[in-house]
Structure 1
Amino acid sequence: MNLPLLRALALPFSTPISIFEEDEGASPDDPQLWLYLGIALILVLLGGVFAGLTIALMGQDEVYLEVIHDSGEEKEKKHAGSVLRLLKRGKHWVLVTLLLSNVITNETLPIILDRSLGGGWPAVVGSTALIVIFGEVIPQSICVRYGLQIGSYLSPVVLGLMYIMSPLAWPTAKLLDYLLGEDHGTIYKKAGLKTLVSLHMSLGKSPGERLNEDEVTIITAVLDLKAKSVRSIMTPIEDVFIMSSDTVLDEKMVDKILQAGYSRIPIHAPDNPRNFIGMLLVRMLITYDPEDAQRVCDLALATLPETAPETSCLDIINFFQEGKSHMVVVSDSPGDQAGALGVVTLEDVIEELIGEEIVDESDVYVDNQRSVRRTLNAPVIIEAPEIAAIQAGSESKPTPVIAGSEVETSNQIFAKPRRTSTGFSQRAAQGIKHLGPSNPANKPSTTKYTNIKIKPGREHHHEGENGGQHANGGEAGEDTPLLGRANES
């Protein structure tokens, strides 16, 4: 009477035991045996392909593929393009499709083996061994090394499976995109990029692929350029060669300027050494005669912009590219008449750009930060032995020679007549009173960089010989900002 109930209670305990009971499989003479074994072999191969493609495609970084597609070899470009087009359709869609295909294959294999080998432990052990060895380990090991090539060749197959399984795979992929977000590849921060560049110095396959120390230094310096302020690279104002606008440019002062070796000299107001009104370009003194003894303000002065100490070096180098000035004053209050802390030149920014100090033949300081003086100063003009006068009855001034230089001075450079100390010469050459129209400093306009300030020009009204007229016949008017006084008649 209670036998059916007892049999029902014993049924769950008899099921696990039946797994290890070996049933009689198909006879070797049965054609279905070989059919089932062939299907099992195909399922093992398909499972291996799906498992390998999961590693091959999901292990690819889209940023890395973009790099290969743009700068790799022809075959690499082709493979990267195929994989990129597939992943652009949705990385989660590809992942769900491959996982579903792999699960279907692996779950079908034990059923086929049960039909061919019979039930029990032979089917369980056989399917497990085939799946682990030939469906997981070997395919994934191969695809880890040749994932890009295999993924490229089989991308049409994967695309077809994506559309076949789209009723289930596409909604699941969209749900993953919503929950986890779309993957757009690995984007490195600057610190990671510097580490990556440093690793390429030692991990390259060949010397041609490895970066040398100078390349690593320059790349890392460029990455730090935006975060570095001009305060950290400026030359303190105490170490800057500056001049007052009322300084008389006599022979002694011109020699001092030449010995200093600078190409640009900041000019400040006579009553305030922290209020800079312009910049003297030393090359303008080529045609200047020191015996004229003119003041600095009588010459044309280029603009000298000002900026705050927090301005980045990247903004400064972008400003220098505008061509308005290659020197900037660092000031606590840019645009005001005080607060100058130091100066920054194009050379200073380039030194930070390449990460190394640039030392030319006229540098007074090797390092602006540590103020290490050079053992040799700038070239000094010395007097060469007197040469017999070419013109009869005249005396010529000794030819200037640059100490330590073998370059001979050409007489054609100073073609304009000059006045000598003996008074024998034609009219002396005058200093340049204006900047050329091609010079951006001739018409300094407001720069597009808001952290760079250009002081407004001062008004200098004067009268010429013809009742308030300039020498060229025009009316006297306001000077160009920071270009100095106009040529007085």
Structure 2
Amino acid sequence: MSGLTVGYLSIDKLDLEIKQSIGTLEEKKCHHYLLVTLLLSNAFAMEALPIYLDAIVPSFWAIIISVTAVLFFGEVIPQAVCTGPSQLIIARRLAPLIKFLMFSLGLVCYPISKVLDCVLGEHDITRFKNDQLKTLVQMHSKKALQELQIVQNENMGLSNLQTNIIAGAFDLRNTTIDQLITPYERVFSLSIDTILDKEVIDLIKLKGYSRIPVYYGEDHSFILGLLIVKSLIGLNVESPLSLRELSMKGQCLIKTPIYASPSATVGQMLNIFKEGSAHLAVVCQDPERLVDEANDLLEAIKQGRDQQVSVTSHQILGITTLEKIIEQIISMPILDEKDIEKRLRNPSGQFSMTIQDESNRDMQEMNELLNETNQNFISKENQKIFNAKFTQLFAQKLESQVKEDITQLGKRVSSLYEGDRDYKNIGMDPKFSQSLLDRDI
């Protein structure tokens, strides 16, 4: 009975619910009722043994035999067996015996169990908080189990991918999108008055974005919509028009974006993106106000009217996308076929550039940037100093190069021809050659 007491009562109720969900065992109930029944049955057995032995052997031997039997056969061996790997199997097979004891001793055990329920409360299931569950999942990863050297087969433990996805899901309510935004000054956008000529279309193709923010005003103060790039398919670039004119004619699609607060969580943004209205959100301080402003502006543009914007640029912090939300959940970057220079989110929310297959284009852009920087540098007060130093260095280099060439030429001529006669045959005076070497250029 001691082994059954420890074995039954050490079974975790949460573990039983898990087993029940896969159909292997029923949930254990009446914790205190079971406890009182097993303890009472164990007390009867332990007290009856020395009384029975005292009737057939001397008292001294009765004590020795009863203590030894209770220690090994009533405590050590039963508890070791009933708490081992076959704990649930033993509990299931002995369930009829336990039910019989609970029924037989119910008149005594049931009232006591109810008193314990009222005083101590019912024995509830162990519940975990999000952080505890996240730690529990990480403890069951294959890597953690391998470090503990308890991996027995390939199916034991969670893979790194499973661990990352589950752990990322636990952070949905804690991570806010202000950690996932691209700053507004780094966002590629177009003005509502941008003329879509061939150069602009080529630039849009080069960027490879499917949605491009469209701003209103000369100071980029307000993003009024998202240009759906695929709506530009078939656009006639021979007679280019502005986005405003194309929107008025219905030849391009500019949708009202999703405006979100920086305090919104990843879970909230995922639910918003699931509605399908857009896969890009503008992060701003006052999203409700900007939604009304954007709707009014788009309506005014379609009607050919101008309207002033009352919002200021500091209210727009940046943008975030569905891709970044998914990257945060699965804790790994997502690359697609258009990612030539892909921006990747590190844990701190900053970004780094990864260069893949277009190294020539990267070098060309770098050279253009250096040329532009040099031009800006030379065009200011350093132009005179730069020109003077450049001229001096160029002259020194030219002088050194000419002297070296003349020396090499003289050596070659000397090795091929001997005497003044041979020099004259090739039209060169040896004295003239030597004078060139001694002359300052």
Q: Could you tell me which runs of 5 or more consecutive residues in structure 1 were left unpaired when the two chains were aligned.
A: 1-49, 72-76, 382-489
1:176 aligns to 2:116 (yes or no): yes
Partner of 2:268: 315
Deviation at 1:163, TM superposition (A): 2.3
Distance 1:191 1:204, change over 3 A: farther
Distance 1:237 1:349, change over 3 A: same
1:227 aligns to 2:165 (yes or no): no
Contact 2:342 2:355 survives alignment (8 Å): no
Letter in 2 for 1:101: S
1:340-394 deviation line (CA, Å, top 9, x unaligned): 111111100111111001122323442254332232588999xxxxxxxxxxxxx
- Identical pairs, percent: 32
Partner of 1:141: 80
Q: Distance in 1 between matches of 2:15 and 2:106?
A: 28
Partner of 1:372: 352
Name the structure with the higher helix share: 2
Q: Distance in 2 between matches of 1:371 and 1:137?
A: 60
Partner of 1:346: 322
Partner of 2:299: none
**Equivalent residue in structure 2 for 1:65, among 12, 16, 21:** 16
Partner of 2:277: 324
Partner of 2:193: 246
Partner of 1:282: 229
Contact 2:4 2:82 survives alignment (8 Å): yes
1:306 aligns to 2:306 (yes or no): no
Q: Distance in 2 between matches of 1:362 and 1:105?
A: 77
Provide TM-score, normalisation by structure 1: 0.62
Q: Distance in 2 between matches of 1:92 and 1:205?
A: 36
Partner of 1:360: 336
Q: Distance in 2 between matches of 1:204 and 1:69?
A: 25
Partner of 1:108: 48
Q: Distance in 1 between matches of 2:188 and 2:115?
A: 68
Give the number of aligned pairs. Answer: 320
Q: Distance in 2 between matches of 1:215 and 1:377?
A: 30
Contact 1:63 1:184 survives alignment (8 Å): no
Q: Distance in 1 between matches of 2:151 and 2:125?
A: 23
Other structure's SS at 2:281 match: strand
Deviation at 1:58, TM superposition (A): 0.9
Distance 1:102 1:155, change over 3 A: same
Distance 1:292 1:117, change over 3 A: farther
**Equivalent residue in structure 1 for 2:163, among 204, 213, 216:** 216
Provide TM-score, normalisation by structure 2: 0.68
1:132-177 deviation line (CA, Å, top 9, x unaligned): 1101111111111121011101112212221222222222222222
Contact 1:308 1:333 survives alignment (8 Å): yes
Other structure's SS at 2:222 match: strand
Instruction: Show the 5 A alignment for 1:259-298.
Output: 259-271=206-218, 273-297=220-244, 298=247
Other structure's SS at 2:264 match: coil
Distance 1:54 1:220, change over 3 A: same
Q: Distance in 1 between matches of 2:222 and 2:288?
A: 9
Q: Distance in 2 between matches of 1:379 and 1:265?
A: 25
Contact 1:306 1:334 survives alignment (8 Å): yes
Q: Distance in 2 between matches of 1:379 and 1:268?
A: 32
Q: Distance in 2 between matches of 1:223 and 1:316?
A: 15
Partner of 2:64: 125
1:165 aligns to 2:118 (yes or no): no
Q: Distance in 2 between matches of 1:251 and 1:374?
A: 29
